[in-house]
Amino acid sequence: MNNRVETAVQRPADLLRNDIAFVIPSYQRPYVWPDEDVLKLLDDIHTAKKANEPHYFIGTLLTAEHHVIRQDGVKILELIDGQQRATTLMLIALAMRELQVDSPLSTIATVNNESRLTFVIRNQVQSLLGAWSGLPNCQIPSEDAIKNDPYLTRLYGALRALYQKLNKLNESECKELADYIHERVQWVCNIVPNGMDLNRLFATMNTSGMQLEQADILKSMLLKQVKSNKAKYEGIWQACEQMENYFERNVRQIFSRSDWNKIKPQDLKMFDGNVFLLSNKVSSLKRGEVQRLTINDLAGDFIQYSAETSTNKNTHSSDEVEDDEPAYCRSIIRFPLLLMHTYRIYRWEQEDISVRLHSDRLIESFSDLIHSDEKSVKTFIEYLWQVRYYFDQWVVKWVKIDTDDEEHLGLTSVTRSKSKNKWYLQRSHKENSALALLQSVRYFTGERSAQYWLTSFLGWLITDEYKKEDQVLDLLEDIDNQLSLAVETQKEASFKLLSDVLDEQEPFEEVKQYLAAPKGTHFEHYWFQKLEYLLWKNGDKTKDKKLAKYRIVSRNSVEHVHPQNEEYKQILENKYLDSFGNLVLLNPGQNSSYSNQKVEKKKIDFLSKPGYDSLKLKHMFELMGNDHWSIDKIKQHEEEMLKIFELHYTTT
């Protein structure tokens, strides 16, 4: 068997120029990226374009030459790994086509009158992609089919989210972005030889552990400067880098010789070498210790599956850490981004790092510290300990509550408890709160690959002046308000907020004028989500259980309450149809459930649901009462919402 692997750097332009198509085999899972991940990739590419970066790298695709040979000379590659990224790029191209953007990217979804991306045995998916691509004899599946088919639901939702995001750009901005994606977005395509057992290869890849990342390389480069107590500083780094677990649990594993019967939650605020004593096993906790498999290993008959190939992170026995009813979590950012926020805080009296915040720019952003002295590196790592402590104390995580299978953004608290004559630190979920909801607003509406607000927020928290939740909420409201009115970029403004208030801010009167204009789907999603937060905060949660349980989630579809194409053809003048008073932010699934129904029917559907789809929509229907949704009601609703905004900005 030929074991030679072909490797090439590809761009969308190369797919077009060389007639390359992809097929996604039946053993692959459905397309699963949520709207926030789809928009995060688009936003990140757009940021790279605005920064004039020569290219944007999306990673590596692993493919194999397909057994089908097309007569028209099109080369078909079977996607083994990288489906989510490749599909998202194709959806971006389809959204550009729908907007009739004059760019080669708009034509890339098809090749010789067939879809460039094919899903094996997924006929409904092919029909959907074909219809979006303008191919003849292809029809968009019914709403029920889209709603009930996991392969269709996410594809449909992602395309709608991308369309609305791109529709906010003007014609020239869209074309420039499309051309940048076509020529500058790159990936490495590895093509494995024919005859390989692809099902087995795919399974082996998913059990073969973690690969070396930039954070590992950065750690090695920084620790080269550390000559004394190197193990201690490596231990601090390791306690901070495991973002899938809570900080105190990481510390307990790595600094296991500490007297944990005496340590209280507040003792973790700063590292104290007299309190936290390193485990003798710390050297066995190195991140990413995996069995490296070459293509020859994967292709050979001697492939052996074993749990031993997965990452060896938990080397302590189960009785060393109390695991009764743990509060599991998933971080809103990965460790490289936490490092970059920490480094910005560390540099608060100097200049900000010059590169944008993205894990791909990690080592570049640390160039000054890499070439500094031992004291500077140690100080930074001690900063990292502090930041990680406050990050776990006050920043939301993705958590599951009770028997609910769905993850929510929530906060937790740490308490001490005694079991078998030993003291432990345990996590418990906090009730839904304004602090969690406002962070959700920032998480879902900011620059998703950067989350710039975290620099300002964590930077002020480590001063230890904010000890109660209401104080922390006041801090975050102040940061959020200033960032929302900032004239400078979010990166520049968030760094300046480490030391002072912003000199230049847009007056709120301009925000009022913006919200009073009929912008339709071009309104920024932030203002809808911010309003949801204010309506929740000001509402009476004691009398309304649905309100108390309400959470701010990812919503990316600005919809008209009085529909654009109302089922009974009742027409509303555009200045009212597209006004803030007639609009609501939903996710595509919620919107499709309302469709083009008259408003009275939408109200019945809204009230019959177990939770609120939107608090703005709730206010609309309460204002509507038993009357019709009239122009007067639209104007009144808009005026009341603007008053809520104005009160918040003038009193906070």
CA distance 442 to 438: 6
Domain for residue 281, yes or no?
yes
CA distance 589 to 156: 9
Is 430 in the same domain as 547?
Answer: no
pLDDT in tens, 543-587: 999 999 999 999 988 999 999 988 888 899 999 999 999 999 998
Is 136 in the same domain as 235?
Answer: no
Which residues make Cβ contacts (< 8 Å) with residue 636, sequence separation at least 6?
A: 581, 623
Asked if 309 and 290 touch (Cβ cutoff 8 Å), the reply is yes
Asked if 146 and 152 touch (Cβ cutoff 8 Å), the reply is yes
Domain for residue 345, yes or no?
yes
Domain for residue 485, yes or no?
no
Length of the chain: 652
pLDDT level of residue 151 (50, 70, 90 thresholds): confident
Is 201 in the same domain as 219?
Answer: no
Is 201 in the same domain as 250?
Answer: no
Q: Which whole-number Å values give the CA distances from 425 to 260, 320, 328, 393, 420, in the listed order?
A: 9, 13, 14, 13, 14
Is 408 in the same domain as 524?
Answer: no
Domain for residue 492, yes or no?
no
Domain for residue 468, yes or no?
no
* String of DSSP letters for 135-195: -TT--PPPHHHHHH-HHHHHHHHHHHHHHHHHHTS-HHHHHHHHHHHHHHEEEEEEEEPTT
pLDDT level of residue 366 (50, 70, 90 thresholds): very high
pLDDT of residue 313 exceeding 50, the answer is no
Domain for residue 470, yes or no?
no
Domain end residue (candidates: 432, 461, 490): 461
Residue 426 sits at φ, ψ, to 5 deg, of -125, 150
CA distance 610 to 495: 42
pLDDT of residue 482 exceeding 90, the answer is yes
Is 526 in the same domain as 560?
Answer: yes
Is 336 in the same domain as 319?
Answer: yes
Which residues make Cβ contacts (< 8 Å) with residue 510, sequence separation at least 6?
A: none
Alpha helices in 395-520 (DSSP H): 434-445, 453-461, 469-484, 490-496, 508-516
Query: What pLDDT, on a 0 to 100 scale, did the predictor assign at position 3?
Result: 61
Domain for residue 313, yes or no?
yes
| C-alpha 84: how far from chain center | 14
For the chain, give the mean pLDDT.
Answer: 86
Is 65 in the same domain as 157?
Answer: yes
Asked if 9 and 307 touch (Cβ cutoff 8 Å), the reply is no
pTM, to two decimals: 0.80
Is 414 in the same domain as 515?
Answer: no
pLDDT of residue 331 exceeding 60, the answer is yes
One-letter amino acid of 64: A
Please measure the distance between the N-terminal and C-terminal CA atoms of the chain and give it in whole angstroms: 70
Report the domain count for the chain. Answer: 3
pLDDT in tens, 65-83: 876 667 778 999 988 888 8
Is 171 in the same domain as 256?
Answer: no
- For 549, the token pair is 């349980």
- For 110, the token pair is 């098809």
Domain for residue 472, yes or no?
no
CA distance 632 to 640: 12
Is 286 in the same domain as 181?
Answer: no
Domain end residue (candidates: 166, 183, 205): 205
CA distance 502 to 500: 6
Is 238 in the same domain as 186?
Answer: no
Residue-number span of the structural domain to which 585 is assigned: 511-651
pLDDT of residue 630 exceeding 50, the answer is yes
